[in-house]
Each structure stands twice: as structure tokens, then as C-alpha cells.
Structure 1
Amino acid sequence: MNTTSSRPQLCVAAAQAISVANDVARNVQTHLAFAREAAQQGVQLLVFPELSLTGYELPHLAAQVLDEDGAALAPLRQAARNHAMMLIVGAPAAAARAGDLPSIGAWVLRADGTATLYRKRHLHGSETQFASAGEDDALVLSLAGIPTGLAICADARHPEHADAAARAGAGLYASGALVSENGYGPESAQLQTYARVHAMAVLLANHGGPSGAYISAGRSAFWAPGGDEVAAAPGPGQCLVVATRKSNDGWSGRVVPLDLAA
């Protein structure tokens, strides 16, 4: 179903989903359920957490690499077309250079059927044992009518990454992440600082439950240009964090819980 007629000027959302470890097929179904609900909410751009299609399972990255034309992404590409919505989903991807370790990727699936891959630029901790870093200091794409700088988790801990996105004209900085309770305070404060310093909106899509060795804080959020928090999930659990901008009225937000067992 196409819901474009009821949409505001701009509507973006974080999909705070729970991923099942190494079960791509099941996680695709979760993503599809989020996309259906997001379409009902008028969402034009939906961002999922880091490695949302596999979970944060670093030792299994090489065995889970997804490509643009693979069967795993096909239902999500169709959903993007059906809902006239752009999806950003997390998955292992081939490295930029042949022979390197796989990348931690974010696939941008557009409503016109095209796809673009962003590779995580800044790795941390044990990620360097299993993945290779991307080569783009910033990737800014026009998504749902707003120049959007893409980030994956630790990218956003490096101010130079957000700086590069802002210099490239980003009006929205969108990060798919896995942030624990211990890390959430400083990391969310840093994202809010980017919104204030660069006068760009910032969207955080965090995992809704544990993944890998981490217990996610949840609390996905959206900050308007200038740094005001517009909407934030209260904790873990599956939900959409939706932010809308209508003409010159500024941003408003809401949290939409999802009960996928229903």
C-alpha cells in the first residue's frame, strides 16, 4: 500500500528493533513489520540499528555477507518500493578492496529500487579482528528530500566524522548503533552536541535488546537542529521513534511501541 498522500513534508524514524543472532530470515520479517507500521505513520526514511539483519555477531561477519542483488535483501527492497519509503538496514558487506575483511555496512534501499552501501569508517575494539574500515570520511545522500549523512555506531564518537558530514551539506545525521547503558550518556550527549554545533537534525537508531556481548540501552532518539530532544524511547524494547517536520512549524516527535507477537 502506498501512503504518500497522507504524509507531512518530512517524516523520519528510528526502528528500535530486536535482532535474533545470525537469523537473517527472521530478522527480515521483523524489518518488514517495522516498515509496515512506519508506512502507517507516514514515515519516508526508516533507519535500523547497526548490523540489524544479523545481530552484532562479529565472529560470524564473513559468513553473513549480504550483497545488493542477494535474496536476503529482496523483500526489503520490495517493501521500500511498496511503501514509497527509504530503508537503511545494517548488515555485513563485502570490503571496498578485494582481499580485505568484510565491512560493517548500512544498505540504503530506495523506493525506486536502487541501493547504496555505506561502510563503517571508524572501527573500535575487537571489530578490527573481523572487519575492515570503510574509506569514505562522509557519505551524504539525498534521502526523502533531506541531505543525510550516514553513520554506524562508533563513527559518531569521532567529531571529525560529523564535521565531514556537515561540510558536505548534511541536514540530517543518521546513526544506526548498538549503545549500551554505560555508553549511552556520553554518546547521546555527543550526538546532541552535533545537532547544536552543526545545526543539523540527528537521529539515533539503537538496538531494542541484547546483541552480541552487549546489553543495549535502547533509548533511540531524535534531536532537532539546535539540540532540542524531540523524541526518545524510554528504554529497550521494540518501537518506532518518529520525527516529523511540517513546513515551517519545526519538528515534533512521538514513540510508537510495536507488539510483533500480536
Structure 2
Amino acid sequence: MARTFKVALGQVRPVLGDVAANVEKHLAWAARAREEGASLIVFPELGLTGYQVQDLTLDVARPPAHPDIQRLVAASQDLDIVFSFVEESDEHLFYVACAYAAEGRMVALHRKVFLPTYGMFDEGRYVAPGRRFAAFPTRFGRAGMLICEDAWHLTSPYLLALDGAHLLILPASSPARSVQDEEGFGSQSFWRKLLEVYARLLGVHILFVNRVGFEDGVGFFGGSFVMAPDGERIAEAPVLQEALVTAEVDLTLLRRVRYTTPILRDEKPELVLRALERWLVRRDASAFPARDEAEEGCRP
């Protein structure tokens, strides 16, 4: 495994509903990343479809074997490519998915687990939730993928780190909200602070790639970055504009951080498991009382 590698962040502006055009842009940007010496390029959430797909879901959804998807997979012979699309399963269920392609094959596929249905978001109306978080091997060590809202839940990066992930890959479609003077947008500031905590507590590199552009009046701020295990941002893209940003990732830093601050080492997952089991039993007992108690409550 290489001690360092160059990563490219493909902060693109997708065309809503035009999969063919977005595939071409991904291929062109992958070629640029290859020319700049990158070994891995990461694109944003739903970079192949646009975010506000809603009633376009049937039109833009693709199974992994579809030619549009396989063109990007084929382009990964000498450059690992992470891209996101609306996946259609064999059962005709639809997911927000993220694929990791390397050496001309799809190495891993993550389906977004947490679908926001608050504020401007209504994802659960159109797509199904994924059911698992799992790390997988790459030539840069074990990696794990999260998609936007997944990262707003503590369990997601925690489970991936316990599964051995050294690298967290995080495509997003995060809107620009709450303009601030020094920190840019409020949503941008939140992502920086949140991922700094994860990087430091879990001792992982994080690749956050957010899209730009406008859809149905919603603007996406970009601001993609690479964060080291010590919480430092080693590269960052501008806001509100497309950009291809490269950064050198030093994997030896992870070794040093996990030695000097061994928080992940000292975790006690068996304690968490026992506590969750007790909590689930209490919750189920509260939601489904014994028959006699239920009948008693119905008597006049």
C-alpha cells in the first residue's frame, strides 16, 4: 500500500435529469484528474442525475449494469472513481447510491441509509433507505462511504471505523444556508466542525465532496475539502463554483495520530452492544405491552 496518494475532488454542477451529459462531464473531469497525477477522484452525491430528481426518478434511475454506469466503471482502470447516482435494484426499488470503481470493476456500492424528510428535504417519498454500513479494501487501505445525511448520525462513521475504515468518503448535496461573515455559509461551517470531530475521534482521513449550482431555487455551496486525522483541512475547494482540487494524502499521519491519541483503540463496542440490547427490550416492552395490560387499559 502506498504511503501517500493524490486525490482529486470533483466539485461539479450536474445537469438535473440529464444522465448522459453528466456522465460525459465525469469522464472529462476524470481525465483531467489523471493528467494531474491523481490516483482517486470523488464526485458529489447524485452527480449523475442532479439532486432534485423527485418525479424524474423513473427516468434517471440506472441498475449497476447499465451502460451509463459501466462507462465510468471502465474508466477506472488506472484511476479509482467514486460517483453517485439513483440506483434501481432487481426488485425495482430505488436508492441514492454511491459506487467505488477501481481497475475496471465496481468494488463497492453504498446505498444511503438516512433519508432526510425535514425542511426542504423529502427523499423518503421517492427512494428507499439502505440497510448497512460496511468498509471495503482499496489500494489506499480500508475505506467506507457515507452519503450526505448519513454523516449527520453518529452511528454511521462509528460503524465504519469499527469495521476498519481508515478513509471516509463523503459525497454530498448540501444546500447553502445562513450566510456568515467569517465562516462562509452556516451549513458550510457545520460540516467543517462536524467532520473535524469525526476525524479526531476516529483517527481517519475524510474526503468531503459537495456539489454546486442551483436546482428549483436551491443553491449548493460546494466548499469540498480533504481533512486529515488530526482535524486539519489540507485542501479546500471554493464556494459556489465548479472546481477540481487535488491534495496529497499522507497515510503515515494516520499511524501517528492513532498512536498519540488512541481514542478508537479504547472504544468498547461490546458495552455499546449490551446497552443497545437492553434499550431495545425496554422500548419494545413499552410499545407493545403485555396482553393482560393492554386489555386492562381498554376496560371501562
TM-score (norm 1): 0.84
Of the three residues 62, 71, 84, the one matched with 1:90 is 84
Is the 8 Å Cα contact of residues 8 and 246 (structure 1) preserved in structure 2? Answer: yes
Is the 8 Å Cα contact of residues 21 and 212 (structure 1) preserved in structure 2? Answer: no
Question: How many angstroms apart in 1 are the aligned matches of 2:18 and 2:58?
Answer: 14
Question: How many angstroms apart in 2 are the aligned matches of 1:160 and 1:247?
Answer: 24
Secondary structure at 2:214's aligned position in 1? coil
Asked if 1:65 corresponds to 2:61, the answer is: yes
Is the 8 Å Cα contact of residues 74 and 104 (structure 2) preserved in structure 1? Answer: no
Asked if 1:21 corresponds to 2:16, the answer is: yes
Deviations 1:79-137 (A, max 9, x none): 112xx111111100125x836x410011222224344321001100110100110011x
Name 1:235's counterpart in structure 2. 239
Q: Which of the pair has more CA radius of gyration? A: 2
Question: How many angstroms apart in 2 are the aligned matches of 1:44 and 1:155?
Answer: 25
Instruction: Give the direction of change, closer, same or farther, for the CA distance of 1:198–1:8 in structure 2 (3 Å limit).
Output: closer
Question: How many angstroms apart in 1 are the aligned matches of 2:69 and 2:16?
Answer: 17
Is the 8 Å Cα contact of residues 8 and 42 (structure 1) preserved in structure 2? Answer: no
Name 2:270's counterpart in structure 1. none
Is the 8 Å Cα contact of residues 197 and 226 (structure 1) preserved in structure 2? Answer: no
Is the 8 Å Cα contact of residues 93 and 103 (structure 1) preserved in structure 2? Answer: yes
Question: How many angstroms apart in 1 are the aligned matches of 2:216 and 2:168?
Answer: 25
Question: How many angstroms apart in 1 are the aligned matches of 2:54 and 2:159?
Answer: 27
Query: Which structure has greater helix proportion?
Result: 2
Name 1:33's counterpart in structure 2. 28
Instruction: Give the direction of change, closer, same or farther, for the CA distance of 1:173–1:246 in structure 2 (3 Å limit).
Output: closer
Letter in 1 for 2:86: P
Is the 8 Å Cα contact of residues 30 and 41 (structure 2) preserved in structure 1? Answer: yes
Name 2:163's counterpart in structure 1. 168
Map 1:107-122 → 2, pairs under 5 A: 107-122=99-114
Map 1:1-262 → 2, pairs under 5 A: 9-56=4-51, 57-81=53-77, 84-95=78-89, 98=91, 101-125=93-117, 126-136=122-132, 138-182=133-177, 183-211=187-215, 213-246=217-250, 248=252
Gaps in structure 2 of 5+ consecutive residues: 178-186, 255-300
Q: Per-residue deviation at 1:41? A: 1.9
Name 1:256's counterpart in structure 2. none
Gaps in structure 1 of 5+ consecutive residues: 1-6, 251-262
Question: How many angstroms apart in 1 are the aligned matches of 2:136 and 2:47?
Answer: 21
Instruction: Give the direction of change, closer, same or farther, for the CA distance of 1:173–1:247 in structure 2 (3 Å limit).
Output: closer
Where do 4+ consecutive residues of structure 1 move more than 6 Å?
none
Deviations 1:113-163 (A, max 9, x none): 344321001100110100110011x22122232211101110011111011
Question: How many angstroms apart in 2 are the aligned matches of 1:247 and 1:171?
Answer: 9
Paired-residue identity, %: 26
Name 1:3's counterpart in structure 2. none
- Asked which structure has the greater RCO (Cα within 8 Å, sep 6+), the reply is 1
Is the 8 Å Cα contact of residues 141 and 148 (structure 1) preserved in structure 2? Answer: yes
CA-based RMSD = 2.0
Secondary structure at 1:43's aligned position in 2? coil
Name 2:280's counterpart in structure 1. none
Tell me the matched-pair count.
239
